[in-house]
Structure 1
Amino acid sequence: MKEQKELISLRRKLHYRMVMIFVLLMIQTVMCELNKTRLIEQQHLVTCLIQISKQYFDQQIMISLPRYDEQSFRKKVSGGTENKFLAQEGNNFESILLHKLLISGQSSVFVYRDADESGVEEMHSKHSSYLIYLQRNAIGSLNYRLQCLKKNYFRNLKSRFVVILDKKFEDPEKEVTNVLSKLWEFKVINVIVLLKLRAQDVLQIGIVPKDLKQTLEVRKFDNVIGIYTWFPYRDYKYCYNTRKFYLLDVWIMEGNGHFILNSSLFPDKVGNSLNKCTVVVSTTEYYPFVEFPIYIKSTGSVKAVYDKGWDISLLNIITEVMNVSVQFLPPSREKFGRFLMNGTFTGIIGDLAYSRCDIAVGGLPLTPPFIDTGDHSAIYSRSEFVWLIPCARRLHGWRNIFRIFSSTLWLCVFLSISLAACIIHCLAKCTLSFKTPGTERYLDMSESSYKIFAVFLGTSVSSIPRTTPLRVFFLAWIGYSLAISTVIQSFLTSFLVRSDMEEQVSSFNDILNSGMEYGFTPQYDIFFSMAGTSHEKDVLGDRKNCGYEKRCLHRVAHKRDFAMLFSKVNYDYEVKHDYVDPDRWTILICTIPESFLGFYFTVYTPKGHQLLGRLNVVISRILQAGLYDKIQDAHVHWMRLKLKVHGEETDDDGPYQLSLQHLKVAFFILMAGHLIGLIVFLKEIVYWKFIRSA
């Protein structure tokens, strides 16, 4: 009986062990099949990525992988060098992917793990494509990696992103939405998301094209790879809503694998019409490009709206063609902005650097720091810097008399009078032997001088010469005096009516030679380094700082001892008409004829912004049509009408009506002559009374 019980117990143990062995074998078989299936899926995923990289990627690929054993590594793998195979670290997917990329012939591959920031610097300003592999904590890991990549300028118009979600999620649709939303926070839209699912699950996620539905319904139990993306600006209600995403294509895991539709995975996502989606614009008041905004109350807040200015008119054309609505950012106190000591930017520059706007416009030059913080569009206008100088004033009063002849000619005229007096005195002495009556008056030198000067002034003499030699010389002197007097009277009359101008500074060398101080705002320094002018060292070394432009302009206009470098556009349409003499309506600030520096105006977007391509097309067509020139011409016409109404524009070529103002100097000379004559007359009366009393 005891032996029978032991036999039964032994049989049970044996049966139990056999069951355990069978179960273990079954588990091992299932695990092998699962591993085999997973390996096949990974191989298909890698094959899918290789095909995408060959068709859509450029010569550089950055692969972003999860952290591995709390260590970071970065290696550079050059195509065609198999001994640099990097698959010894990481899981099977990483090994297969790196091996396949290595032998596929890609020029260079950068592998980057979460904690390694040094390798990203090698990708600085290079057009690259990105593979981002996500497993656990997909959104948190994606956010961290994008932050690291952003520090080193990863965004550009040619960058394409492929995000691989290698995990089974409870709500895969929500996970895809979160990934697209996180990328949109960094203004990345050129992205596709790869997700492994059963075909029947793919039908339930996103918007599925009709061409794919039939194939997926037939293969509803097969595992496939769905390729998803989203399209901004397609619908006014879903302009920036990533929850509405699309299934572009499906990779079938059969044989070597293939796409069902072979459709474009990176289509153009910015069409000709943006369906009234809102575009955020950063600008600031900068006449004549942007005029002062108007403020409108809306939903409990006050919004700034810009509706006047050259660039606002340009913006209106752009928004009409692109079919978008505009939202202006509140104006900043810093206007264009600057770089602060804490490492941040302000103003328009800050709006570009931190992607707070979609477009920045308003007379923005093609110079740093704008080109460092944003991407510029096609150039739409050009301007120059010119030197502002005090305008030459008209010479009024007695100073015009000395401008009739040069100083040398005036000296010759007075010497001729003295010489003529000597000659006529000598002729009178020579003819003394003839004892001709009336000749004795010319024997006195003072009498001869009086008579010669009287003839020069065009007045009569008390006694005329009686001898032939005196008469001949006297007639010659009358002709000479008449010619000189006519010239003097003609020029004097013209100067009294329209006086001549002071000598005007005409070049930068004249400014340097005149000893006049000059200066400009510190923001203009960058133009000298870009242009590389010959005067760069001289100008930057001796210039005065015009931190406050109004103060420097006031000094140029009223103190007249300063020259200032200024934008020609702003001078022509603002400064030129703001600084005017209120009495004579003459311009107080002029420019030298030559331009000093040239620069260009452009529109900016944040780095890598999706609207730049479409913006370039629209601006190029606006320039070809001459619409920006028409905007400027219309503004010039309006300015001329305004100046005519206010009397600020005078016609220098029109007829003059003589007034007391024009002949004031002539009357002063007449009164001075009468005063001198009165003094001489009174002196003679006193003199003769003194003689008689004596």
Structure 2
Amino acid sequence: MKIIWLILVLNINLIAADFQENLINCLYHIANQINPSSLIFVTSNNLQLQFGEMKTNSPLQVESVYRSNDKEIIDSILQSFHRSSKWPITLLSTGISKQKIVQNLYDLYILITDKRELSEAVKDIEQQTYLTTIGKDSNLRIKYIAIVLHRFEDANVVAKDVLSVLWKLKIINAIVLVPTKHNIFVNNTLSLFGVYTWFPFGSEGRCANVSDAVLLDRWVSYNSKQYFLNVLNALTLFPYKTTRNLNSCPLTVSTFEFEPSVISKREIGDELIYEDGTDVRLLKEIASRMNMKIRYRKPTPDYWGVALKNGSWTGITGEVMTGYSDLAIDNFYNKAHLINGLEYSTVYIIDHLGWWVPCAKRIGRWKSLIKVFDLSFWLGFLATYVAASIFMWIIAKLNSLLGSYQQYIAYKNIIKCFLNFWAIIVEESASNNPTRVPSIRIVFLSWVIYCWCVNTIYQSNLVTFLVSPGYEHQFSTEKEILDSDMLLCMVDTVITCCIPNPDMYPSGRMHTSSSYNICVDTIAKGHNLAFLFNRYHLEYVTLRKYIGSSGRPLICPIAEELSSQLVVMPFTKGSLYLERFNYFITHILEAGIFNHWHDDMKYTATLKTMIGLQIQDEEYIRLSLQHLQSPFLFLILGYLVSLLTFAIEFISGLKKQKKQRSKF
């Protein structure tokens, strides 16, 4: 009896040694094919000796006994990889509450379970997988290998259950190593392990659900050599899960009308449809290439959404995070710094945030005559006129002391000096010729030349200002806006994602709104309001809705950009569609198709808007009374001054006559 037990123990040790060697060789071969940045081994914390618990009459004794000490197998694997010195190695255990590691997309996770019951093995793999995904920075696209140490009757069922657990935690790139029975021979080779994975869209009607496992390859032995039967490489070990043809699987999308990304919403029965938009065109193109059916969710009133205190989000962001939708479109900014529950597509737009203000209003035509020169020039001209008149009066008065009084009578009176010099300004002749005194003639001639130059410049630009007197000052910097008394309007979603320090703006003038349309409409009406929003949307909306009767926009951006934002499509974490979407987005961008869509939509919007406007031809303009408002205004003003002067003189004359009569 003792001899039989000794032989049995020796056979068990040989089988266990062979199993360890076969498993190590298989893992080492896979690691060489993938060449990961590091290896992370994950095990349960209760690996222990279980040989004593087995019954001698168990039919599975020979099949299971080579795992009599599973800890030795894991120790052997770790020692073997450690001796190779090719990869950094990390060991995680499910028994430790907190294990923080910095994940890398090129890591390789190896999950090992020693459970002998299928339900326990699946649960153990689930716990180990959860341990690797609890971090906020966890990357679900890292490669996973799940190893089942126990040999079960149906390896396909084992692989299917393990893959189902991995997919429940959104693990995409995963394979399962399951020991095969020793009596399986393929092409004269001995099968040792089966390598299983799953394809979520393998057949029609099968959409992202694990219904069965697919045997990728077998690790076999032949003439003391071990290798994969089909010579797997890194690509075939972890193939793309999403094919080009998804057999009309539904694609649930969250969005709302937001031009030019998503426009033309209509309902056909219970189905919601968006007919056009840059993002809609992009989505339709990709969905048609992948043979998917788009299903739009009803639009949320919270637009992109805001963060709640419990860490969740409202709006389309919350719908994608919770899995109600597969993705969202609508000029969505990359919020990776705020949200960890999403994955993002390739960037296809770079948007810019900036202030929008009412466009400068046209200056009233009644100001045309005075807008030819700036106020500073008019003040300088007036000062020159006063100084020249006084200077002429002083010169004439000094010369009168040396000569005849009658010779200087036209300029010895300061009022007459002002009147004579004013006559020269309006190109009228002076009432008296200047005397032959050189000093007086020089002053007079200098004033004539000065007025001639000013009048020439003034008259050459007068018609231009009569036709178009120009526009008032246009705000061009954020500093000008903050220094003014304008109200500041911001949308909650923009404050949440894109303004790092909203406290820098004066709180007394801040106005937050949940609807961006209210702010834009208020600015278009010319109210004293500045709105912080994105340019991609408002540039298009301005062309379509906010063009005045003159063909000029009603809302204008300032040139200064506050921030640049990356526009992406958000996906649920671990989405199967992300890689294919990135592939198509990249090719569409490289071909210039997306920019063509955007330019086409802006051009069409401009044409539709301009059709309803009657814009005056700017090449030939017929002057009318409307253009001559300013000359007539000054003419009326001159008549009023003349009438007032005449009335004063007339009343003064009557009073003078009355006084003279009273003396007699």
8 Å CA contact 1:520, 1:544 repeated in 2:
no
Residues 537, 305 of structure 1: alpha-carbon distance in 2 compared, 3 angstrom cutoff: closer
Corresponding residue SS for 1:238 = coil
Q: Report how many residues are paired.
A: 625
8 Å CA contact 1:553, 1:564 repeated in 2:
yes
* Equivalent of residue 507 in structure 1, options 463, 466, 477: 477
Shift in Å, 1:590: 2.5
Tell me the equivalent position of 1:331. Answer: 299
8 Å CA contact 2:103, 2:138 repeated in 1:
no
1:190 matches 2:173: yes
Mapping 1:660-675, distance limit 5 Å: 660-675=625-640
1:567 matches 2:550: no
8 Å CA contact 2:542, 2:553 repeated in 1:
no
Q: Where do 5+ consecutive residues of structure 1 fail to align?
A: 1-20, 72-86, 203-214, 530-535
Residues 65, 485 of structure 1: alpha-carbon distance in 2 compared, 3 angstrom cutoff: closer
Q: Can you list the C-alpha shifts for 1:291-348, whole angstroms capped at 9, x where unaligned?
A: 3633343xxxx34333322222222333344444433344333332333212323334
**Residues of 2 paired with 1:105 and 1:632: CA distance?**
53
Tell me the equivalent position of 1:174. Answer: 157
1:498 matches 2:468: yes
**Residues of 2 paired with 1:631 and 1:325: CA distance?**
22
8 Å CA contact 2:254, 2:316 repeated in 1:
yes
Shift in Å, 1:526: 6.1
Amino acid at match of 2:74: E
Shift in Å, 1:499: 0.9
**Residues of 2 paired with 1:153 and 1:682: CA distance?**
89
**Residues of 1 paired with 2:450 and 2:4: CA distance?**
137
8 Å CA contact 2:331, 2:567 repeated in 1:
yes
8 Å CA contact 2:155, 2:179 repeated in 1:
no
* Equivalent of residue 410 in structure 1, options 372, 378, 382: 382
* Equivalent of residue 268 in structure 1, options 235, 239, 255: 239
Residues 526, 270 of structure 1: alpha-carbon distance in 2 compared, 3 angstrom cutoff: same
Q: Can you list the C-alpha shifts for 1:255-298, whole angstroms capped at 9, x where unaligned?
A: 4644333233514225762344534444444322223633343x
Residues 90, 450 of structure 1: alpha-carbon distance in 2 compared, 3 angstrom cutoff: same
Shift in Å, 1:629: 1.7
Q: Can you list the C-alpha shifts for 1:429-480, whole angstroms capped at 9, x where unaligned?
A: 98857x89xx97877665665455445445577x665976699789957776
Mapping 1:497-536, distance limit 5 Å: 497-511=467-481, 520-521=490-491, 523=494
Residues 354, 88 of structure 1: alpha-carbon distance in 2 compared, 3 angstrom cutoff: farther
Mapping 1:261-410, distance limit 5 Å: 261-264=230-233, 266-270=237-241, 273-278=244-249, 279-291=251-263, 293-297=265-269, 302-354=270-322, 357-369=325-337, 372-396=340-364, 398-405=366-373, 406=377, 407-410=379-382
Of all paired residues, the percent bearing the same amino acid is 22
Shift in Å, 1:228: 1.7
8 Å CA contact 2:355, 2:533 repeated in 1:
yes
Residues 568, 34 of structure 1: alpha-carbon distance in 2 compared, 3 angstrom cutoff: same
Amino acid at match of 1:570: H
**Residues of 1 paired with 2:361 and 2:191: CA distance?**
89
Shift in Å, 1:627: 1.2
Residues 167, 296 of structure 1: alpha-carbon distance in 2 compared, 3 angstrom cutoff: farther
8 Å CA contact 1:291, 1:306 repeated in 2:
yes
Residues 691, 511 of structure 1: alpha-carbon distance in 2 compared, 3 angstrom cutoff: closer
Residues 581, 142 of structure 1: alpha-carbon distance in 2 compared, 3 angstrom cutoff: same
Tell me the equivalent position of 1:115. Answer: 95
Moved more, 651-660 or 682-691: 682-691
Tell me the equivalent position of 2:111. Answer: 132
Q: Can you list the C-alpha shifts for 1:492-520, whole angstroms capped at 9, x where unaligned?
A: 54333211333334334444555767575
Tell me the equivalent position of 2:44. Answer: 66
**Residues of 2 paired with 1:466 and 1:250: CA distance?**
119
Corresponding residue SS for 1:382 = strand
Moved more, 496-505 or 539-548: 539-548
Amino acid at match of 2:245: L
Mapping 1:609-620, distance limit 5 Å: 609-620=575-586
Tell me the equivalent position of 2:54. Answer: none
Shift in Å, 1:634: 0.5
8 Å CA contact 1:157, 1:608 repeated in 2:
yes
Tell me the equivalent position of 1:247. Answer: 215
* Equivalent of residue 643 in structure 1, options 598, 609, 633: 609
Corresponding residue SS for 1:326 = strand
Moved more, 442-451 or 223-232: 442-451
Shift in Å, 1:630: 0.8
Q: Where do 5+ consecutive residues of structure 2 fail to align?
A: 50-66
Residues 417, 586 of structure 1: alpha-carbon distance in 2 compared, 3 angstrom cutoff: farther
8 Å CA contact 1:428, 1:442 repeated in 2:
no
Amino acid at match of 2:287: T
1:624 matches 2:590: yes
8 Å CA contact 2:245, 2:289 repeated in 1:
no
Corresponding residue SS for 2:303 = coil
Shift in Å, 1:418: 5.2
Moved more, 506-515 or 417-426: 417-426
**Residues of 1 paired with 2:309 and 2:165: CA distance?**
30
**Residues of 2 paired with 1:619 and 1:97: CA distance?**
42
Q: Can you list the C-alpha shifts for 1:526-552, whole angstroms capped at 9, x where unaligned?
A: 6576xxxxxx89956889655324565
Residues 52, 493 of structure 1: alpha-carbon distance in 2 compared, 3 angstrom cutoff: closer
Tell me the equivalent position of 1:654. Answer: 619
Q: Can you list the C-alpha shifts for 1:380-428, whole angstroms capped at 9, x where unaligned?
A: 2323333334433333255444444411123213443555567678889
8 Å CA contact 1:125, 1:153 repeated in 2:
no
**Residues of 2 paired with 1:274 and 1:148: CA distance?**
34
Mapping 1:26-105, distance limit 5 Å: 33=11, 36-37=14-15, 40-41=18-19, 43-56=21-34, 58-68=36-46, 90-105=70-85
Tell me the equivalent position of 2:63. Answer: none
**What's the Cα RMSD here?**
4.4
Tell me the equivalent position of 1:15. Answer: none
